[in-house]
Structures are given as structure tokens and as C-alpha cells.
Amino acid sequence: MSENVFNCQHRVSYAECTVGNHIYYARYLDLLEMARGEFFRSLGTSLLQWQERDVIFPVLEARLRYHAPARYDDVLSIEVWPTTAERVRLNFSHRILNEAGKLILEAETSHVSTGLSEKPKRLPPELVTLLTPRLKPGGA
């Protein structure tokens, strides 16, 4: 992927797996959340620091397409990049690949910028400035 794509690694734990030795489908949402958190941290401000500034990014919608199972002890590459950062909207695309480069999952998440009151508020200008050069329109 391009330099605009943030990548983090994750080793699949036994707790994330079903009896069938693959990640339980809903656990992928946790992996996406973890990757977005690391992405924000890489920009210089963690999600907790945004929250302390009265800015949060609740998920409005999540779409996941499962391509292959990830299994216990697999090391996964989780890619995340912003696709929209305008007004109160913040959207991301994600891909998860295994060590062999096999596509495991593609996903999109749509977020709204709000305060702790959960009322929509504009994305902070400094965040938009950080996100703009990383924007890659289109889905996963």
C-alpha cells in the first residue's frame, strides 16, 4: 500500500478465537478500533487526549467483508487510512492481511465528531490539517 496507509501488527491471541480456531467474527471490530487508536497516536495525539479536549468519534456505521479466516498465533498486518475528513464526518478504510499477504478482511467505518455531550461538532482544524495529506478517497 502507499505511504498514506498506516500499518500496525497484531498477533492473534487464543482468547480471540472460536473452538474452530479462527477469530470470532465480531472481534475484528476490536482490531479495527485498536488500529485506529494507533493511527491517531501516530499523528501525535491519542484518542484519550482528544477526549480530554471534548472531542470523540463515535462509530455511525461499520461494513466488514470477510475473505479468509485468521487463526491463533497468526501475525496480522492491519492497515488503516482516512477516506473522509470534512465538517463532522470522519471515515476510514481498513484491510487486514496475514503474514503471507493473504487478504483476511476489508472494512469501512463511518464516524461523527462530537463532544462528550454527543452533540455533533466540527472536526478540529488541527486534526483536519493532519489528516488531509493522508486522505485516500474510496473504500477498502
Domain range annotation of the chain: 6-134
Q: What is the mean pLDDT of residues 71-96?
A: 98
17-41 CB burial, b ≥16 within 10 A, e <16: beeeebbeeebbeebbeebbebbbe
Whether pLDDT at 27 is above 70: yes
Instruction: Tell me the pLDDT band of 110, cut-offs 50, 70 and 90.
Output: very high
Q: What is the mean pLDDT of residues 66-76?
A: 97
In 15-88, where do the E strands start and end?
59-66, 75-86
Residue 132 has a pLDDT of 94
Q: What is the mean pLDDT of residues 87-108?
A: 98
CATH of domain 6-134: 3.10.129.10
Instruction: Tell me the pLDDT band of 139, cut-offs 50, 70 and 90.
Output: low
Q: Is the dihedral of CA 43, 37, 60, 119 positive or negative?
A: negative
Residue 137 has a pLDDT of 79
Whether pLDDT at 42 is above 80: yes
The percentage of residues in the chain with a pLDDT greater than 70, rounded to a whole number, is 96
pTM: 0.93
